[in-house]
């Protein structure tokens, strides 16, 4: 996993609540057996005017000029600004894969759906929950300020606006360590292999039917 | 100290706890399907790691499989490759059980697990699918997980997890005739919203839940994720135990008695404290129909479509306006005046024998309306299909003009050929009405199986309670 320490990036706003994983990456693209290459199909149904299918060359497709992420001013954005319950719906990790492949490294929102939130951390994509008042202000600033950028400082756990206003955010200590170091969860867990074996052996005696 | 069921299930699986409370939970059952597992198996292979406990794995192919013309195989080459990749991965690693495409016991992963007794009370269950919450009906801690976590569980038999807050949804009273588990859970989502359960583990309790069959409880727990909760569950009781007796992977002999004694302890203690309690009166719940593009956009069959100005919050109001435009509906329209084009009876929410019986009871001796282009019945598994055919349900559906198909996820998410065309409106027993969920531009209304059948007959939404 890539490390995440600090990020200074262009912000793109997606001003709607309950953005679901079917919208982030429609089901036809889940047929891939790879982890990469989902970026061109992120938000496929909102982003293009035609219907997308796997294997299409997306560069030639007609883009929907009304979809915010297609606007020239947001090209190259690495921070997505969103509303409440972002990433609701399915457990498909293809959603964070698609957002990351699209170019996002962090998502700032009022709230996230649990599974999506969790999946982001496994991929070095940082989901940040901020209070509604701060998110409201950021939507206003992003819309009214061409080239609006934010700095995300993970060690200090704050989002810093260009005017110097710093907004603190929460992140679990364990997840933070993993992101800062780019650690692989599996490697970390396997340090406890002996404990897992002991637990399993005990369970096998107490509830043998679970090991049939 | 008294404990909630969640705390009992949690405590009995903790292997290790980090300083910030992040725990390693031991996983008893790992359900695997073709869509979210290929990258996990590949990752494992690339890292030179082995599967920790092969006998925890139960696998099936369900999302991509066609529901008709099985003799032709899977025509879509990308779908076929995904299913064949699962075949190859399971061939290489092994599993407790694998129900591949065309197997007699193949079906939707959340249907197949319980019906084979592979889901047992007190287990931790995971699957790379958000509807894994279904298994909570058996007093399990069942988590939907992403592909990285699938790989993590394959490699370590553990899941890294932070403890959730606890929510008790207590539904007292008896539901009226024609009101089902689906209506209960849709009414709950309408009340607390699709983010209402974020960060919570939901225990469903009260008289109305106790009165449900295991099938009904699975429907409720299945949609816990639609209320925002990654896990939802029901305490074990005699209904749970009776359902499991004699099933394939359920314990036998002395183990059965020992297991049952343990399962009876899988209830929240009487004085256990929850972080939040939601009370609902079952008698107030009427058959539900969603009108928008989120499961929380729901009302009773006796209701009307709302207007954006009914909502004060501007983000919500705009969301409703966008949903109505997508759905092709106008404010104040009566729900029972909305005409439909297609009907889908199936999915991990509502494809079990009880669901098919309820739909067949409505369809019996009636005809699908002329304006309905397609009415699909997709049983949840091969075994359910066999049972339904033994009961003659297939003949009732076919005589009424429904199509009787092979098992699979089908038009719940339209990864196979079963889908809506742009603008088509569907009465669906599935779990999500998101934009494009059942096909790009398709319009989904979530309902119970009986209400889906009633809509098929009437050609529009109709109150199943008024059908004699």
Whether chain B has a CB inside 8 Å of the CB on A22: the answer is yes
The pLDDT tens digits of the residues spanning B190-246 come to 999 999 999 999 999 999 999 999 999 999 999 999 999 999 999 999 999 999 999
pLDDT band per the 50, 70, 90 thresholds, residue A2: confident
Note whether B397 and B363 are within 8 A (CB). Answer: yes
Scanning A109-168 for CB atoms below 8 A from B yields: 111-115, 118-119, 122-123
Scanning B422-451 for CB atoms below 8 A from A yields: 432, 434-437, 440
Contacts of A172 in chain B (CB under 8 A): 20-22, 162
Distance CA A152, CA A54 (A): 34
Q: What is the pLDDT of residue B1?
A: 84
Smallest CA–CA distance, residue B36 to chain A, in Å, is 7
Of B16, B22, B155, the CB nearest to A186: B155
Q: What is the pLDDT of residue A184?
A: 87
Closest CA relative to residue B376, chosen from B303, B460, B449, B270: B449
The pLDDT tens digits of the residues spanning A145-204 come to 999 999 999 999 999 999 999 999 999 999 999 999 999 899 999 999 999 999 999 999
Q: Say yes or no for a CB contact (<8 Å) between B38 and A123.
A: no
Contacts of A47 in chain B (CB under 8 A): none
Contacts of A35 in chain B (CB under 8 A): 39, 42-43, 147
Q: Say yes or no for a CB contact (<8 Å) between A113 and B149.
A: no
Q: Give the relative orientation of helices B449-458 and B353-363 as an angle to the nearest 10 degrees.
A: 30
Closest CA relative to residue B461, chosen from B226, B287, B292: B287
Whether chain B has a CB inside 8 Å of the CB on A26: the answer is yes
Whether chain A has a CB inside 8 Å of the CB on B24: the answer is yes
SS3 sequence of chain B: CCCCHHHHHHHCCEEEECCCCCEEEECCEEEECCCCCHHHHHHHHHCCCCCCCHHHEEEECCCCCCCCCHHHCCCCHHHHHHHHHHHHHHHHHCCCEEECCCCCCCECHHHHHHHCCCCCCCCEEEECCHHHHHHHHHCCEEEECCHHHHHHHHHHCEEEECCCEEEEEEEECCCCCCCCHHHHHHHHHHHHCCCCCCCEEEEEECHHHHCCCHHHHHHHHHCCHHHCCCEEECCCCHHHHHHHCCCCCCCCHHHHHHHHHHHCCCCCCCCCCCCEEEEEEHHHCCCEEECCCCCCCEEECCCECCCHHHCCCHHHHHHHHHHHHHHCCCCCCEHHHCECCEEEECCCCCCCHHHHHHHHHHHCCCCCCCCCCEEEECCCEHHHHHHHHHCCHHHHHHHHCCEECCCCCHHHCCCCCCCCCCCCEEEECCCCCCCCCCCCCCEEEECCHHHHHHHHHHCECCCHHHCC
What's the average model confidence in pLDDT over A43-52?
96
Whether chain B has a CB inside 8 Å of the CB on A93: the answer is yes
Nearest-5° Cα angle at B77, B74 to B78: 110
pLDDT band per the 50, 70, 90 thresholds, residue A1: confident
Distance CA A52, CA A61 (A): 9
Mutate to test the interface with A, among B89, B160, B313, B421 (most CBs of A within 10 A): B160
The pLDDT tens digits of the residues spanning B156-182 come to 999 999 999 999 999 999 999 999 999
Distance CA A33, CA B245 (A): 38
Tokens, residue B207 = 């008289």
- The residue written with tokens 């910030």 in the block is B20
Q: What is the pLDDT of residue A212?
A: 77
Q: What is the pLDDT of residue B70?
A: 96
Scanning B316-355 for CB atoms below 8 A from A yields: 316, 318-319, 322
- φ and ψ of B231, to 5 deg: -125, 145
Closest CA relative to residue B291, chosen from B459, B447, B453: B447
Contacts of B152 in chain A (CB under 8 A): 185-186, 189
Smallest CA–CA distance, residue A54 to chain B, in Å, is 9
What is the 8-class DSSP label of residue A63?
B
Chain B residue nearest residue A27, CA to CA = B415
Averaged pLDDT of chain B: 97
Contacts of A17 in chain B (CB under 8 A): 315-316, 319
Q: What is the pLDDT of residue B468?
A: 61
Chain A residue nearest residue B437, CA to CA = A22
Closest CA relative to residue B145, chosen from B25, B265, B283, B291: B25
Whether chain B has a CB inside 8 Å of the CB on A174: the answer is yes
Whether the model clears a pTM of 0.95, i.e. scores above it, the answer is yes
Alpha-carbon torsion angle B43, B48, B52, B57, nearest 10: 40
- φ and ψ of B228, to 5 deg: 95, -5
How many CA atoms lie within 13 Å of A141's alpha carbon, on the beta-carbon side?
A: 17
Chain B residue nearest residue A55, CA to CA = B78
Chain A residue nearest residue B12, CA to CA = A203
* Strand B200-205 versus strand B165-172 pairing type: parallel
Q: Give kind and range of the element (H or E) at residue A92.
A: none
Of B19, B158, B315, the CB nearest to A189: B158
Helix residue spans in chain A (DSSP H): 21-24, 44-47, 94-102, 114-121, 132-144, 173-181, 185-190, 193-206
Smallest CA–CA distance, residue A88 to chain B, in Å, is 7
């Amino acid at each position: 996993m890539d490390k995440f320490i600090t990020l200074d990036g262009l912000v793109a706003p997606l001003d709607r609540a309950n953005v679901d994983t079917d919208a982030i990456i429609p089901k036809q693209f889940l047929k891939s057996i790879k982890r990469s290459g989902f970026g061109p199909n992120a938000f496929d149904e909102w982003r293009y005017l035609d219907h997308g299918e796997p294997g299409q060359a997306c560069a030639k497709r007609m883009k929907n000029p009304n979809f915010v992420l297609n606007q020239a001013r947001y090209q190259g954005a690495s921070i997505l600004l969103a509303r409440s319950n972002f990433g609701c719906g399915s457990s498909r990790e293809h959603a964070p894969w698609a957002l990351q492949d699209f170019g996002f490294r962090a998502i700032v929102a009022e709230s996230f759906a649990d599974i999506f939130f969790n999946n982001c951390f496994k991929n070095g994509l940082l989901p940040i929950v901020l209070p509604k008042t701060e998110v409201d202000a950021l939507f206003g600033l992003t819309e009214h300020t061409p080239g609006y950028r934010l700095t995300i400082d993970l060690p200090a756990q704050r989002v810093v606006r260009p005017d110097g206003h710093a907004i603190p955010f929460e992140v679990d200590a364990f997840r933070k360590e993993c992101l800062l170091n780019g650690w692989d969860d599996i490697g970390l867990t396997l340090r406890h292999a002996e404990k897992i074996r002991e637990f399993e052996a005990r369970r096998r005696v107490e509830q043998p039917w679970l090991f049939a | 100290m008294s404990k909630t069921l969640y705390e009992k299930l949690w405590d009995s699986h903790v292997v290790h706890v980090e300083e910030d409370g992040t725990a390693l939970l031991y996983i008893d059952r790992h359900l695997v399907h073709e869509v979210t597992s290929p990258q996990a198996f590949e990752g494992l292979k690339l890292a030179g790691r082995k599967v920790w406990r092969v006998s925890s794995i139960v696998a099936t192919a369900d999302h991509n499989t066609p529901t008709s013309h099985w003799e032709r195989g899977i025509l879509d080459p990308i779908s076929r490759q995904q299913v064949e990749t699962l075949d190859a991965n399971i061939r290489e690693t092994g599993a407790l059980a694998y129900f591949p495409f065309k197997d007699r016991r193949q079906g939707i992963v959340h249907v197949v697990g319980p019906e084979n007794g592979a889901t047992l009370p007190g287990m931790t269950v995971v699957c790379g699918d958000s509807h894994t919450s279904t298994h909570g009906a058996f007093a399990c801690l069942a988590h939907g997980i992403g592909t990285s976590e699938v790989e993590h569980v394959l490699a370590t038999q553990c899941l890294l997890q932070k403890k959730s807050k606890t929510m008790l949804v207590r539904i007292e009273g008896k539901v009226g005739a024609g009101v089902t588990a689906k209506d209960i859970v849709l009414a709950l989502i309408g009340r607390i919203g699709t983010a209402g359960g974020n960060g919570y583990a939901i225990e469903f309790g009260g008289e109305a839940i106790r009165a449900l069959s295991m099938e009904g409880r699975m429907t409720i727990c299945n949609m816990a994720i639609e209320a925002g909760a990654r896990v939802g569950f029901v305490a074990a009781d005699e209904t749970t135990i009776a359902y499991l007796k004699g099933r394939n992977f359920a314990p036998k002999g002395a183990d059965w008695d020992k297991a049952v004694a343990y399962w009876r302890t899988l209830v929240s203690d009487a004085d256990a404290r929850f972080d939040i309690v939601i009370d609902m009166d079952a008698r107030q719940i009427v058959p539900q129909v969603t009108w928008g593009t989120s499961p929380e956009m729901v009302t009773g069959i006796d209701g009307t479509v709302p207007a954006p100005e009914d909502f004060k919050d501007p983000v919500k109001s705009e969301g409703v306006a966008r949903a109505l435009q997508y759905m092709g509906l106008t404010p104040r329209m009566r729900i029972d005046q909305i005409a439909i084009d297609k009907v889908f009876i199936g999915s991990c929410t509502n494809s079990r024998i009880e669901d098919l019986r309820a739909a067949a009871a409505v369809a019996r001796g009636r005809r699908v309306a002329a304006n309905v282009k397609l009415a699909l019945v997709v049983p949840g598994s091969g075994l359910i299909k066999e049972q339904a055919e033994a009961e003659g349900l297939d003949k009732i559906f076919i005589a009424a003009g429904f199509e009787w198909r092979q098992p699979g996820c089908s038009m719940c998410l339209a990864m196979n050929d079963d889908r809506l065309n742009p603008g088509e409106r569907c009465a669906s027993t599935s779990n999500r009405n998101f934009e494009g969920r059942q096909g790009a531009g398709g319009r989904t209304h979530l309902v119970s199986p009986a209400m889906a059948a009633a809509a098929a007959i009437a050609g529009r939404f109709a109150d199943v309670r008024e059908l004699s």
